[in-house]
Amino acid sequence: MAQGVSGAPAARPHASVRDVDVLVVGAGPAGIFCALGLLARAGARHVTLVERGLPVERRRCPKASGGRCAHCDPCRITTGFSGAGAFSDGKLSLSCEVGGDLPELLGRDFVQEQIGRVDDMYLGFGADARTWGTASPERVADIRRRAIRAGLKLVDCPIRHLGTECAQRIYLAIERHLLDAGVEVLFEHECREVMVEGGRCLGARVRGPAGEVELRARETVVATGRRGAAWLVRMCDEHGIAHEPGPVDMGVRVEVRNEIMEDVNNVLYESKLVGYPNPFRDKVRTFCQNPGGFVSQENYDGGLAVVNGHSYKGRKSPNTNLAVLCSQSFKEPFDRPIDYARHVGELMNMLGAGHILVQRFGDVLDGKRTWPEELTRSNVVPTLPDACAGDVTSAMPYRAMTNIVAFMQAVDRVVPGFASNETLLYAPELKFYSNRVTMDAHLDTNVAGLHCLGDSSGWTRGLMMASVMGLVMGEELASR
C-alpha cells in the first residue's frame, strides 16, 4: 500500500462510482459465455464486461506486417475480446477427458452434456461443421498400438478446428451479438483489484482512459485467463480467497516437417499423447498441435515473451508445431509455481536478448548450442523468423529438460522422425494456470458474490472447457 509522508496510508485518488448488476472481468471465452448464459436465462439483466484489450475488429498484431514483435502493451495476441482465443489455432476439444479438471467439480456426464451445448453455440456462430478424430478407427487403433509400445497413452478426443482467421470471425459475431443484446463492454479498462469487505465482494476497481471507476456489483465474475493468473493469485492472497497451488506446465514448442506428422495429422489432426518418463515419472504431454501451422510469440506483463502456435484454415506452412509440456508441483516450503515458471521464462528471454530461443534437438543431445547458419541448412525452416538460435538447455531446469528429451524419444517410436537431429525446439512454452481457486458445485468461492472462471481459476485449460464453465456460471447466476 502506498504511504504518505507521515507514514499513514496515502489517500486513494477520487474514483467515480457506478452500480451494475453482474460484473464480468475479462472478455475471454469464459467471460463471453458467462454473458451468453446470463442473456439466455435472464434477458434484460444488466451485464457489464470489463476487458483490458481491444474489440476483435481492432486487434491487429503489427508483427504480421513488420516481421518483428512490436511489444504492444497489452499484447494484442493475448489480450482483447475473446482473449488469446482469437489468435490461437482455434481448436475445440469435444471430450470432457481433455481441457482441465472441471468434471471433478461438476461431474463428468454433466460437463460432457454442456460441451455438446457449447459446441452447438459455436456452430450457430459459424464454426466449421467438420470434426477430426472420428473417422478411420482402424488407423486410430494403429497409432494407439504404437503409443502403447512406446509407453505412452493416446487420449481420444474429437476436435473441431476453427482456424485462427475463422476464430476471429466467429468471435466478432459473438461480440456483435452481445452488444446488440445490451451487454455493456468496457474495452481498454484494466481491473486493478476486486473490492472485498466483510467476506463479501462488492465489485472491482477498474482503470480506463478516463480514469479509475468503482464498479459495484451484486455478483462479480473474474475470468482473466492465463495472462491474469498471477494477478488473481495476488487477489486471493490479499482478500482471503481460498485457493491452492496446482502443477505448473512448462516446456518447449516442437516444430517438424509436415511429412513427419502426416499420418497423425490426417487421422487425428491433434495427437494427445501422455507419458510419465523415467527417471522422475512426471506427467509430460503433447498440447496444441498445429498441422501446417506457424510458431508465434506472445508477450505478457513485464515484457515476458513466450512461444505458442497458430494454425489457419487457408494459409499453410510446410511444418507442424506442437507443445511438449512437463507438469511439476510445488507445495512445501515453496508454493509459487507461477513465479517459478515466470523466472525460467525470463532466463530464456535473457539468453535470447528478448526473443524466443530455438535449438535443434540434435544439438541438445550433443550438448552444444545451435548457430543461425546451421538452421539455414536444415529441412525444417523456422516459421518464427525472429527466433534466436541458441541453447535452450542453459535456462531450462534439468528435471524438465530430462523429461522433454525422454518423452520426445518415446514419441519418436509413435511418429518416426519426431526426434530427429533437425527437429526444432522453441522456448519458453509456459501455461499460467497452476493456481486453483476453491469453489463448490455452484461455482461459488468462500467470498460471497465472487466467482472465478476459466484458465485463471485453475479448473480449465483451453477454449472449450473455459466456454463451458462460463455458460454454466451465467445460467447459474441467472437462476438466482
Q: Can you tell me which residue has the cell 505448473?
A: 248
Cβ-contact 194, 220 below 8 angstroms = yes
- The set of residues, in sequence order, having a beta carbon less than 8 Å from that of 472 and lying 6+ positions away, is 37, 106, 114, 443
Asked whether 442 and 260 are in contact (CB, 8 A), the reply is no
Q: Would you say the pTM of this structure is higher than 0.85?
A: yes
Closest CA to 280 of 404, 394, 101, 149: 404
Q: How many CA atoms lie within 13 A of 263 on its CB side?
A: 14
**Helix (H), strand (E), coil (C) string for 77-98:** CCCCCCHHHHCCCCEEECCCCC
CB 371: neighbour CB atoms within 10 A? 12
pLDDT at 6: 37
How far is the C-alpha of 55 from the C-alpha of 346, rounded, in Å? Answer: 29
End-to-end distance of the chain based on CA atoms, in angstroms? 36
Cα separation, 479 vs 457, in Å, equals 22
CA dist 168 and 56 (Å) reads: 7
> CA-CA distance, 285 to 268, in Å (whole number)?
16
Using an 8 Å Cβ cutoff, are 309 and 323 in contact? yes
Q: Which residue has the cell 546451421?
A: 374
Alpha-carbon separation of residue 239 from 196, 235, 337, 349 (angstroms): 7, 6, 20, 33
b/e string for 225-254 if b means 16 or more Cβ within 10 A?
A: bbbbbbbbbebbeebebebebbbbbbbbbb
How much is the pLDDT for 386?
Answer: 93
In the numeric block, the cell 488473481 is attached to 232
Q: How many CB atoms lie within 10 A of CB 4?
A: 9
Domains and CATH numbers, the chain: 16-127+163-244+436-478 (3.50.50.60), 137-157+247-431 (no CATH)
Q: What's the one-letter identity of residue 219? A: E
Residue 222: left if φ>0, alpha if ψ -120 to 50, beta else—which one?
Answer: beta
Question: What does the radius of gyration of the chain's CA atoms come to, in whole angstroms?
Answer: 22
Under a CB-based contact definition with an 8 Å cutoff, are residues 22 and 48 in contact?
yes
What are the grid coordinates assigned to 397, written together?
531446469
CA distance 305 to 427: 9
pLDDT (tens digit, 0 to 9) for every residue of the chain, 480 residues total?
Answer: 333 333 444 445 567 999 999 999 999 999 999 999 999 876 556 899 999 999 999 888 777 666 677 778 788 778 889 987 666 678 899 999 999 999 999 999 999 999 999 999 999 999 999 999 888 899 999 999 999 999 999 998 999 988 877 888 999 999 999 999 999 999 999 999 999 999 999 999 999 999 999 999 999 999 999 888 889 999 999 999 999 988 889 999 999 999 999 999 999 999 999 999 999 999 999 999 999 999 999 988 888 999 999 888 889 999 999 999 999 888 778 888 889 999 999 999 999 999 999 999 999 999 999 999 999 999 999 999 999 999 999 999 999 999 999 999 999 999 999 999 999 999 999 988 778 999 999 999 999 999 999 999 999 998 999 999 999 999 999 998
The kind and range of the H/E element at 327 are strand 319-328
**pLDDT confidence of residue 67:** 66
The per-residue pLDDT for 12 is 53
Contact 385, 368 (CB under 8 A): no
